[in-house]
A and B are shown apart, each in its own frame.
Chain A
Amino acid sequence: MHIGIDVGGTNTDAVLMNGVHVLAGVKHSTTPDVTSGIVQAIEDLRTGHEFVGSDIDAVMIGTTHFINALVQAKRLAPTAALRLGLPATKALPPLVDWPEDLIEAISGKSYLAHGGYEFDGRPISPLDPGELRAHAADMKAAGIRSVAISSVFSPVNHDLEVEAGRIVAEELGPDVAISLSHEIGRIGLLERENATIINAALRELASEIVDGLTTAVRAQGIDAPIFLSQNDGTLMDEDYVRLYPVATFASGPTNSMRGAALTSGLETCAVVDVGGTTTDVGLLMNGFPRETSNEVKVAGIRTNFRMPDVLSLGIGGGSIVDTETGEVGPESVGYRLTTEALVFGGSTLTATDIAVAAGRADIGDASKVAHLDSAFVERVLARIAERVSEAVDRMRTSPEPIPVVAVGGGSILLPEHLELFGAVRRPENYAVANAIGASIAQVGGEIDKVYAIEPGRREEAIAAVRAEAIDKAVAAGAKPSSVEIVDFDEVPIPYLPGNATRIRVKAVGDLDMGA
């Protein structure tokens, strides 16, 4: 058995799982301190289905703590950003595109040093240990407690980042955390560096949170390993979280999508999550959310880490319906639904009223919407179906038909069938889908690098990169026999010789729970 817990901003969900079967599920409000919420969740699970600590093989936790800490600019460590690349890159030093208040919140200091590589692996300039020691001394004087190190083209060759990290650590001692950019982001220096600085600023908080979570779980007599969910839906162990807290940033939507898929038994599907104000459409491919290919802004900072690609429409259960045109949203009555909607005695025509009038839902007082013209109701619902259908079509990556899974309280607005896509599936246990998503026990490894591919050796080069990704997944704890390549992307880079090509590979396997 294992336990999945999703600590969201509003609710904490928990499930007790046996393989892919839900034995018990609970949901309650998130507590300000992490630990008491977790303790309560585990105790509630015990009430639902009795177990002893030794029955549990693993505990998987999804949390929004880290992204919230950044957005609220709270509990961030004094952080230095050190970049290797001089004389190049001087024009835009680290932290150049950060909002002032966040630089203040991390007491940010920015340093440039020699080092870095060209796209083809030639050095830009040699590392200067004396220069690095001088920077480290300055960091020490400034009270820096965490350091982010980036280097030009470190996705091609990262040895200078490692070496600089060693030198800086020597000067600053073991209490100062070092984060290296090649372990965090992909090609795109500023974006990768930004993600690394965010990671560095969260390192102290990560240790606190992991300690808190561990204590809470251990106090329940559970000695099993603890994992946290990453943005891409794979897991990382507690030691990894201490090093890479930034990798948990977008685990919320990811866990919701994966949970919806698991409960519906589908690996590849579109997930339509209809809430009160918006409908979020995402795509799962082989059980993992498709990720954005572009830069993503987090708290006003441009980054390029892996985030699920979600398309939001202004359609939800609380969306206001125009009584003339029948258009829905984007304005919504939001949390005031239970007072403002017609079925609750209010005076605003909402999408929920339409669903009740059509007999799709039994909420509030149906007699209050009996006067609505049935042709009008049909037209509104048809329009919603059309827009959702278009959004799903926009998200899918090939013309192949794809099943649609509908979740969320507002999914009553969706029809039984969508044109182009057929039956709409509605899984059970949706209330705790996030926790179910967190409990899916898979780990992965990703490679994203630029390679010079010699003529006639493409196959060989690709095979080597794939093997590297598989090794990484196994190193992260995957059962070797279960590891598969789930994502492969190859983009040639123009204007460069030697067929310089950017290759991205992701391998994923089942967590080896030793059972």
Chain B
Amino acid sequence: MTWQLRSVDLPDLARGATLLGTGGGGDPYIGKMLVERVLGERSITILDPAELDDDLFVIPTAQMGAPTVMIEKIPAGTEPTLALRTLEEHLGKRADATMPIECGGINSMIPLIVAAETGLPVVDADGMGRAFPELSMETFAVYGVHGSPLALAGERGEQVIIDTGDDDRQMEWLARGITIRLGGVGHIAEYAMSGADVKRTAVPRTISMALALGRAIRLAREANRSPFEAIADTLAPTLYSHMRELFAGKVTDVERRTTEGFAKGRAIISPLDPTVEGRFEITFQNENLIARHDGAVVAIVPDLICVVDYESAEPITTEGLRYGQRVRVLGISTPDMMRTPDALAAFGPAAFGIAEPFVPVESHDRT
């Protein structure tokens, strides 16, 4: 179903997108303000992926780089649409719609800026189904749509085209280098595809799901109902049908270090009742990758491991984790298309150098 997104929806969408960021993806606050400024009282048309014409031409848009830079060097505002226009010019074809490549974190907002500025509709789908640290970690790529050619734009009007053929990792690596030269953040258009490709390769209805999650959490709080039940009820009819609380406790240790440009580390969560034994550990690389309870894996990438406030269910990013926080850790199942052998090769445990095999979060259920 086609629907309209308005400025008033953005705070809920940002909250839901932060939850789907599974600890990473960057704070959508600046992105939300950018959309609000351009959109004003108008609305954005959101297209249901199942209803797309097969030959509709879709160019996804996003930003890449360090979210910390965005809070200091705010964009000029021209970059996201410039990236789209650059790719259109290179391909000699105008886009009929844009789409997120990543529904978690700040990249939920970038296609909305493009849409607000150009009037293009946005496809309710994305290529990560959450947040991941690299441009090559896309269901698009897993199912045969490659990122190249990629257009990169900077605030001074810089335009760069990168074409690495089928090699998405090389594309990611080159784009990352240019992004550093641009000052740490670049805006990109990539993974251009047809409506038929979207139906085949994209994770469907993730914008509406993020919005529904953010809204459900808010409404539950306002009505003094459990936001956790609201999350579970919202997810039940979606492709992310299984949610369960993996652990509830208090953050008792956070360790961080930067390696190869990524924020890696781990957090230890202990039971609230000090007389109860138990140790819960989350390992992260920008996003939460693996959760262990007393040493045993209970959830592992690409399934979602979300740390949220113990009472309000407000999502907490890995940057925001600190000693003493009362938290709950939620495990959320990912759609089947994100769990195939090819998908796991692209963004499963092995892609992050983790030896443990992928085991679906729902099969860890202890009854």
A residues sitting closer than 8 Å to B (CB atoms) are: 85-92, 96-97, 116, 118-119, 122, 124-125, 152-153, 187-190, 293-294, 393-399, 420, 491-497, 499-502
Contact = CB atoms under 8 A, between A and B. Distances in A.
Interface in B259-289: 261-263, 274, 286
A393 B324 contact: yes
A209 to B, nearest CB: 33
Contacts of B325: 394
A495 B262 contact: yes
B74 interface: yes
A438 B323 CA distance: 30
A322 to B, nearest CB: 15
Given A394-B326, A494-B263, A496-B180, A124 B66 contact: no
Closest 7 CB pairs of A and B: A91-B77, A492-B258, A494-B263, A495-B66, A118-B183, A89-B74, A88-B155
Interface stretch (B2-10, B30-38, B196-204): B30-38
Contacts of B286: 494
Nearest to B75: A91
Nearest to A156: B72
Main secondary structure of the interface of A (DSSP, over half): loop
A88 B179 CA distance: 15
A92 B67 CA distance: 16
A187 B323 contact: no
A188 B73 contact: no
Given A87-B76, A89-B76, A187-B68, 20 more contacts: A86-B76, A87-B155, A89-B74, A89-B75, A91-B34, A91-B37, A92-B37, A124-B183, A152-B74, A153-B72, A188-B72, A396-B323, A399-B252, A493-B69, A494-B66, A495-B66, A495-B67, A495-B176, A495-B261, A496-B69
Nearest to A295: B29
A495 B183 contact: no
Interface in B26-84: 30, 33-34, 37, 65-69, 71-78
Given A88-B75, A189-B73, A492-B256, A119 B184 contact: yes
B322 interface: yes
Given A494-B66, A496-B180, A91 B257 contact: no
Contact of A91 (B74, B256, B263): B74
Contacts of A500: 258
A393 B65 CA distance: 37
Interface residues of B, number: 42
Contacts of B250: 393-394
Contacts of B256: 491-492
B74 A118 contact: no
11 contacts: A87-B157, A89-B75, A116-B73, A153-B73, A189-B71, A394-B324, A493-B66, A494-B262, A495-B176, A496-B184, A496-B261
Given A493-B68, A495-B66, A124 B73 contact: yes
Contact of A189 (B74, B157, B183): B74
Nearest to A499: B258
B192 to A, nearest CB: 24
Nearest to A394: B324
Given A152-B73, A187-B68, A496-B184, A92 B323 contact: no
Nearest to A85: B73
Contact of A293 (B157, B183, B263, B322): B322
Chain B CB within 10 Å — which of A116, A190, A294, A495 has the most? A495
Given A87-B155, A496-B66, A189 B258 contact: no
A193 B166 CA distance: 45
Given A88-B74, A92-B33, A494 B261 contact: yes
A395 B76 CA distance: 39
B328 to A, nearest CB: 14
A153 B67 CA distance: 14
A492 B265 CA distance: 11
Nearest to B260: A497
A364 B258 CA distance: 61
B262 A97 contact: no
B71 A497 contact: no
Given A91-B76, A153-B72, A492 B184 contact: no
Contacts of A153: 72-73
B366 interface: no
Contacts of B252: 399
B156 interface: yes
Contacts of B71: 187-190
Contacts of A88: 73-76, 155, 183
Nearest to B256: A492
Chain B CB within 10 Å — which of A96, A396, A496 has the most? A496
A87 B184 contact: no
A116 B258 CA distance: 26
A97 B157 CA distance: 26
Interface in B68-114: 68-69, 71-78
A85 B323 CA distance: 36
B311 to A, nearest CB: 11
B69 A119 contact: yes
A396 B37 contact: no
A395 B323 CA distance: 9
Nearest to B257: A492
B77 A90 contact: yes
Interface in B149-181: 155-157, 176, 179-180
Interface in B192-249: none
A501 B252 CA distance: 23
A191 to B, nearest CB: 8
Contacts of B78: 90
Nearest to B310: A394
Contacts of A493: 66, 68-69, 258, 263
A501 B257 CA distance: 10
Nearest to B322: A293
Contact of A87 (B33, B156, B263, B323): B156
Contact of A494 (B37, B68, B179): B68
B54 to A, nearest CB: 35
Given A189-B72, A492-B263, A118 B66 contact: no
Contacts of B74: 85, 88-89, 91-92, 152, 189-190
Contacts of A92: 30, 33-34, 37, 74, 77
Chain A CB within 10 Å — which of B37, B155, B256, B320 has the most? B155
A397 B180 contact: no
B73 A90 contact: no
A494 B324 contact: no
B230 to A, nearest CB: 22
Contacts of B33: 92, 96-97
B324 A396 contact: yes
A399 B258 CA distance: 26
Contacts of B319: 491
Given A491-B256, A494-B262, A119 B73 contact: yes
Contacts of A294: 320
Contacts of A501: 258
Contacts of B263: 492-494
A91 B35 CA distance: 10
A295 to B, nearest CB: 9
